[in-house]
Structure 1
Amino acid sequence: MTENSTAKALTGVPGLDDILSGGLSRRRVFLLEGSPGSGKTTIALQFLLEGAGIGERCLYITLSETEEELRESALSHGRDIRDQVEIFELVPPESLLDADQQQSLLYSSDLELSETTRLIFEAFARVKPHRVVIDSLSEIRLLAQSSLRYRRQILALKHFFSRSDATVLLLDDMTSDTLDKTVHSVVHGVMHLEQLAPDYGSERRRLRVLKYRGQAYRGGYHDFVIKTGGVAVFPRLRALEHKSGFERTMLGSGIAEFDNLLGGGLTRGSSTLLIGPAGTGKSLFALQFVNAAVLRGERAAIFVFDEELGLLFARTKAMGLDLEGMRDKGLIHIEQLDAAELSPGEFAQRVRDRVSAFEAQTVVIDSINGYQAAMPEENGLVLHMHELLQFLNRQGVNTFITVAQHGLVGDMKSPVDVTYLADTVILLRYFEADGRVRRAISVIKKRTGNHEDTIREYTIGSRGLTLGEPLSGFQGILRGVPLFVGDKKLSTHAFDEDGSHS
């Protein structure tokens, strides 16, 4: 054995060892099950290549795929296993395929099963491997023909391997009997792979550890993808496991009237929800804090679901925010996401990577509407957002999320209610007055301090955002059609075309 023989066997799959609390226990037998196409072979090859990389002998016993197919599969991920993994292609003896030599007094399956077992033992004795993959158990189950004989066969394999130093991974494509849980009770641990097909978009894959004797592991489902290079798993985020120390200072936006509305600004390590109909400037308010963060010498990460980046760069540059220039200088990270191709677990991992590797202290998610498209159901969205926001808060990150409501004026509906998750909620509205469509802003919630309870009109012009004094003398502004109830005229709070007060 190698010098690493006392440690766990790393799987070579990013994220999977974290779920397994360090990898697979050595000298034990594990089961990796899933329907065809779920990624079993790719994970098995990564497991063997990880062992080969530290000098361990590795054996792949295949009853279903040919050696050529396995080598091509590895090459598609940029890995050549020719000199690293011993492949034993187990095929039925020629005598069993010859009709003239078939036995009539004994079932041919009896001979095939015993012959198959003998060939597996001989290959193992010849290679003396530290890591073994047997692909797949469905072939052995079919040869056994009964649950009793199948269980005895699996027990025989387990006892044989237990006398060696090998860590064994059994693959099961679940094609012969999906209800047979015989192997589950015999092996040391079970990993289950699932492949889901949404109504639109690419397949979603997820992994779950069903069993791991004598070992704590990260339960529940974990999203994973198969990409060039192999499988990457995204462990389910648990915010309670992540906490860092930071000072809860007050951060401004760079717009004095906006900061006054917020009671002086936002507290570091808090989340802010900007909610309103399309076109009210939700993204622009969030980007105002990104600009302020860059001016403080901090970095920011922006995740855009809804808008094309070229259009966003052009639109914001005309208002004095050069996002493209900030990106090119390495001050911000910005990426456009396709909800149809992205699982929620992968998105959460991308955000975490930007916080840890890029050291982003401001994160913008624009918008929840696009993020919701990556969710299987609304309840899943709320749970994912809760853990993600809690994680970011514990890292001292200021998070801004936007939600586009349905409608323009009047009683508007949100696709999902996440207002209770955010520490601060900013409400944006259109309203009609003097024959013009105008915009109003108010803060309806702030957990970390006081804020104005007023409503301010604002404009979006060539100088960006401009906020006016609090509106007074009117009721119903947030409903869209205000009523005059005081002495002041609304026009005294209006703006000229360039954004200055009239």
Structure 2
Amino acid sequence: MSESTTERPQDRIPTGVPGLDTVLHGGLLRRGVYMLQGRPGAGKTILTNQMCFHHAAQGGRVLYATLLAETHERLLFNLEPLSFFDTSRIPEQISYLSAFATLEQGGLKGLVEVLRREARGRQATLLVVDGLVTVEESAQSKRDFKKFIHELQIHANLVGCTILLLTSSSAEPVGPEHTMVDGVIELSDNRVGRQAERELEVKKFRGSSYLRGGHAFQITREGISVLPRIEALLQEPSRSDPCKTERVSTGITQLDKMLHGGLPCASTSVLFGPTGAGKTTFGLHFLDESSKAEPGLHFGFYETPPRLLLKARALGLDLDKKQKQGVVDILWHPPTERLLDGLGHKLLGAVRERGVKRLFIDGVDGFLQSATHPGRISHFLAALTNELRVLGVTTLYTSELQEMYSQEVKLPISGISSLVENIFFLRFVELRSKLHRMLSVVKVRDSDYDSSFLEYRITSRGIELADTFQGAESVLTGDARAVSPPRRKKGLLKKRSR
């Protein structure tokens, strides 16, 4: 029988950095030697100190050795505004050591001896060497540099100490240090057009699986928070699909009849339509059916909560009362510079925390506008949609069509039709020199439905449907034509009666 490689919880050193332990599947491995690399300003110092203060808060001891980095006074001054910084941990649990003079006088051998002695004397369980590039420049050969790292590995194994080595991004694709350490984490700050996005990637991690690829992160007053890429985190949904057969009301009686009872429970629908067609109005009707048993959430990008509530009142919907009762919640995100994965994590967090069962995402295009790499949007939405389904959430997206009148319909997001069970189209239609709004049900997966083209009117009582277009053709082109009913030929009824 082969020995199990599953790590026990005690074999891990949690970093305490939101999202990073998720990427690392639990944290760093105890006794490991890890390299944190990135260009100046990438966030290495903040990330490392955040780990150090969390480690100290958990009862650990830290030795932070600097080599030609900023002075300790300046370092602590820059860390002071961050919420994780705690002066009471210094120097009893976190000690800062300037080791450059030792390196200059005693070389790599002298540096190793000092690090070992100080780490033992302070009973450090986490050792940081900030400025590995200086060690490499001081080494007489690559062999000496590799020997230095090997000596640190021996120390880590003997005393159970985890070691972090901070360095600038290497000019070489793979330096000698990369082959020896147990893991490599790289921080970068990438420009896409005029927008910049910070990214963390685990390049190497011995002894454990991890989430591969780049993951966005942000630096705030709380420090660094990593946003694991949604499609990597949710390659598989977090639980099995309940596959419920119940129906969920849309909030519009006539539409429920067309759907033979409403939307399939825990399904995903998309409502396509041009600007002004009433997409948000349909969504507000859907949310108005929320209850304590089916809490609702509006997740939007364009209209503020006060404007949404004002619109609901004009439609005769009492979302104000439902919001005050905690039955409906509204989360608004202005479509400025947002992180795509940040939006995904905030949405899923709200759904899980509130037990949401009715979700209205007003403007799926807002996700597309937040993606620095638009090519990943279909994978992002697939992972997000699959997770919402298994959480038992009935979701309604809206998506804006650019063409108000056109025989050709271009979907704004490629492949979205394959991700959803139900598709509805809202169109403007001209008939007898008058503009009408028209609804059509295009798709309801694994279910029958009424495929009639129905006009809808937005009134003070909400949305009302009518069968105005039963005697018209070319409706989908936007330029409908009335068709006269066919004349019956003489004697036709007599022939049929025979």
Which of 210, 216, 232 is the aligned partner of 1:217? 210
Local SS of the residue matching 2:266: coil
C-alpha separation in 2, matches of 1:91 and 1:167: 19
Write the letter of the residue equivalent to 2:144. Answer: R
TM-score w.r.t. length of structure 2 = 0.87
C-alpha separation in 1, matches of 2:334 and 2:133: 37
Local SS of the residue matching 2:354: coil
- Displacement of 1:271 after TM fit? 0.3
Local SS of the residue matching 2:478: coil
Question: Which 4+ runs in 1 deviate beyond 6 A?
Answer: none
The residue number in structure 2 matching 1:140 is 135
Q: 35-44 or 274-283: which moved more?
A: 35-44
Deviations 1:211-251 (A, max 9, x none): 22121222222222222212222223315241256443111
- After superposition, residues 75-90 of structure 1 pair within 5 angstroms as 75-84=80-89, 85-90=93-98
- Displacement of 1:359 after TM fit? 0.9
C-alpha contact (below 8 Å) 2:155/2:161 kept by paired residues: no
The residue number in structure 1 matching 2:363 is 367
Label 1:77 to 1:408 Cα distance change in 2 as closer, same or farther (>3 A): same
Local SS of the residue matching 1:83: helix
- Displacement of 1:180 after TM fit? 4.3
Which of 155, 162, 166 is the aligned partner of 1:167? 162
Deviations 1:357-388 (A, max 9, x none): 11111222221222111112332111100110
The residue number in structure 1 matching 2:325 is 329
Which of 182, 195, 207 is the aligned partner of 1:188? 182
The residue number in structure 2 matching 1:27 is 31
Which of 63, 72, 93 is the aligned partner of 1:59? 63
- Displacement of 1:319 after TM fit? 1.2
- Displacement of 1:345 after TM fit? 1.3
- After superposition, residues 335-346 of structure 1 pair within 5 angstroms as 335-346=331-342
Deviations 1:175-197 (A, max 9, x none): x6353432221111222222223
Which of 220, 225, 232 is the aligned partner of 2:225? 232
Which of 36, 42, 45 is the aligned partner of 1:38? 42
C-alpha separation in 1, matches of 2:81 and 2:322: 37
- Displacement of 1:273 after TM fit? 0.5
C-alpha contact (below 8 Å) 1:474/1:482 kept by paired residues: yes
Q: 180-189 or 80-89: which moved more?
A: 80-89
Write the letter of the residue equivalent to 2:357. Answer: Q
- Displacement of 1:257 after TM fit? 0.9
The residue number in structure 2 matching 1:473 is 471
Where structure 1 has 5 or more consecutive residues not aligned to the other structure, the ranges are: 97-107, 489-502
C-alpha separation in 1, matches of 2:228 and 2:78: 25
Local SS of the residue matching 2:405: coil
1:282 and 2:279 aligned: yes
Which of 256, 260, 272 is the aligned partner of 1:259? 256
Tell me the C-alpha RMSD between the 2 structures.
2.4
The residue number in structure 2 matching 1:358 is 354
1:483 and 2:481 aligned: yes
C-alpha contact (below 8 Å) 2:429/2:475 kept by paired residues: yes
The residue number in structure 2 matching 1:158 is 153
C-alpha separation in 2, matches of 1:255 and 1:227: 44
Local SS of the residue matching 1:179: coil
The residue number in structure 1 matching 2:434 is 436
Local SS of the residue matching 2:477: coil
The residue number in structure 1 matching 2:121 is 126
C-alpha contact (below 8 Å) 1:66/1:89 kept by paired residues: no
Label 1:392 to 1:470 Cα distance change in 2 as closer, same or farther (>3 A): farther
C-alpha separation in 2, matches of 1:223 and 1:384: 14
C-alpha separation in 1, matches of 2:347 and 2:478: 36
C-alpha separation in 2, matches of 1:453 and 1:145: 79
The residue number in structure 1 matching 2:492 is none
Write the letter of the residue equivalent to 2:249. Answer: G
Q: 250-259 or 30-39: which moved more?
A: 30-39
- Displacement of 1:140 after TM fit? 1.6
The residue number in structure 2 matching 1:103 is none
C-alpha separation in 2, matches of 1:169 and 1:436: 71
C-alpha separation in 2, matches of 1:92 and 1:172: 15
C-alpha separation in 1, matches of 2:106 and 2:173: 26
Write the letter of the residue equivalent to 2:466. Answer: G
Q: 112-121 or 192-201: which moved more?
A: 112-121
C-alpha separation in 1, matches of 2:119 and 2:394: 56
Label 1:178 to 1:67 Cα distance change in 2 as closer, same or farther (>3 A): farther
Label 1:482 to 1:6 Cα distance change in 2 as closer, same or farther (>3 A): closer
